[in-house]
Amino acid sequence: MQRLGGILLFSLWASVSVAQANAPLPGDIIRDLTALQEQLAEGSYNTVAERGAAQAERLADGNASDRWASALYHQLAAGALARMEQPEKAADHLAQARQTRGVGAEQAARWLREEAALRRAAGQNEQAIRLLNEWLDSEQDTNVLWQLVRLMAQEAQWEAAAERLEQAIAQTENLNDDQQALALAILRHSGQNEQTLSWLIEGLNSDSDVEAWRQAAGLAQQAGQAGMAAGLWDMAWQLGKLEEPEDFWLLIELHRAGGTPARAAERLEQALERGDIERDEEVLRLLATSWQQARHIENALSAWQALATQSQKAADWRQYGQLAYAWGDEAQAEQALTQAARLGDKEASQWLANF
């Protein structure tokens, strides 16, 4: 609040100069304003707030000079109230000051921006957004534009934030980390996943943290680009960014969904060789179906054989046999279907009639 109070005081005395040039103030009013400024500097906030409000109301309906003085008294009261940590009441006084008849556009715009700052401090974000939008319609200020974008994001006004974000980016040569994070959040929430993804990928490198990689892969999935998601996750895995078991299994899932099942199978085999995962039925089934999905005949048949041997389920032997038959390996097909039939699979027995 001290900083806001200082801003308001600076604007006040700039206003006095303008007032004297456009609507000269009587000497007694200038002396009173000066005295109130001194009292404000000394910390007599209550006195200044009460005197400023009373004088502003008394002079509000007078001539042009009186109205100027009324507006300036409003601002003095606002300065005192801001220092008393009453930003909402301070903002109300500034609203009255800038709406005073005869106040020039430049001064009204300055007060409007200061009121917006007070509204933000008071937690009145909706009013602050409205005021900043109004101010930016006639002024260009990149810092204020980013303030507005952040406020809109805080209020979940994603579409409006995205529109203003485009302007902010155009006016900003190099976005800092906070601005980039804000931009990404807005683009994601406004449904612009492809643009967000493009931006994320452009900035990814070996030094990027794991969250950046996760976010990029997640956005690729949301944008329906499963192959890209798998590629991003795989690269992050290779770089050592992802080390948790759940990260590995998501890697396998992404490759299978993203059209690179052979890569999923290769990752599974590598993990089995290193002893990172158990050679159980579930893993072997995942390996077999991945090679099958990739239509890698030799590896798929070998994996199905390993699965059937471990599970000893008739359905697995039959599936192995049917694949072998479909891919032209009748010898393997007959062996597998015979084993399935021995385990009681009637469908396998019917298939054996073809040999």
Give the DSSP per-residue string, 8-55: HHHHHHHHHHHHHHHSPPPHHHHHHHHHHHHHHHTT-HHHHHHHHHHH
Q: How far apart are CA 304 and CA 53, in angstroms?
A: 87
Which tokens go with 305?
A: 């054989």
Q: How far apart are CA 229 and CA 155, in angstroms?
A: 30
pLDDT higher than threshold 80 for residue 118: yes
Q: What is the pLDDT of residue 218?
A: 83
Within 10 angstroms of residue 171's Cβ, the number of other Cβ atoms is 13
Q: Is the dihedral of CA 213, 219, 223, 224 positive or negative?
A: positive
Q: Give the residue-averaged pLDDT of 331-339.
A: 91
Nearest alpha-carbon partner for 51 in 73, 30, 29, 83:
73
Contact 235, 250 (CB under 8 A): no
Give buried/exposed letters for 100-116 (b at 16+ CB in 10 A, else e). beebeeebbbbbbbbbb
Q: What is the pLDDT of residue 261?
A: 95
pLDDT in tens, 302-325: 999 999 999 999 999 999 999 999
Q: What is the pLDDT of residue 349?
A: 78
**In one letter, which amino acid is 42?**
E
Most distant CA atoms of the chain, gap in Å: 117
pLDDT higher than threshold 90 for residue 94: yes
Confidence of residue 286 (pLDDT cuts 50, 70, 90): very high
pLDDT higher than threshold 90 for residue 57: yes
> Among residues of the chain, what percentage have pLDDT more than 70?
93
Q: Give the residue-averaged pLDDT of 215-220.
A: 83
Q: Say how far residue 46 (Cα) sits from the centre of its chain.
A: 43
Which residues 6+ apart lie within 8 Å of 184 measured at CB?
Answer: 196, 199, 200, 215
Q: Say how far residue 144 (Cα) sits from the centre of its chain.
A: 19
Which tokens go with 195?
A: 């643009």
Which residues 6+ apart lie within 8 Å of 336 measured at CB?
Answer: 304, 305, 308, 317, 318, 320, 321, 324
Lowest model confidence (mean pLDDT) among 74-83, 185-194, 272-281, 340-349? 185-194
CA distance between the termini of the chain: 91
CA angle, corner 94, sides to 93 and 95, nearest 5?
90
pLDDT in tens, 179-192: 877 888 888 888 88
Lowest model confidence (mean pLDDT) among 181-185, 197-201, 248-252? 197-201
Q: Give the residue-averaged pLDDT of 247-253.
A: 94
**In one letter, which amino acid is 149?**
V
pLDDT in tens, 127-167: 999 999 999 988 888 999 999 999 999 999 999 999 999 89
Q: How far apart are CA 132 and CA 148, in angstroms?
A: 6
Mean per-residue pLDDT over the chain, rounded? 87
From residue 323, give the alpha-carbon distance in Å to each of 249, 327, 332, 338: 26, 6, 9, 14
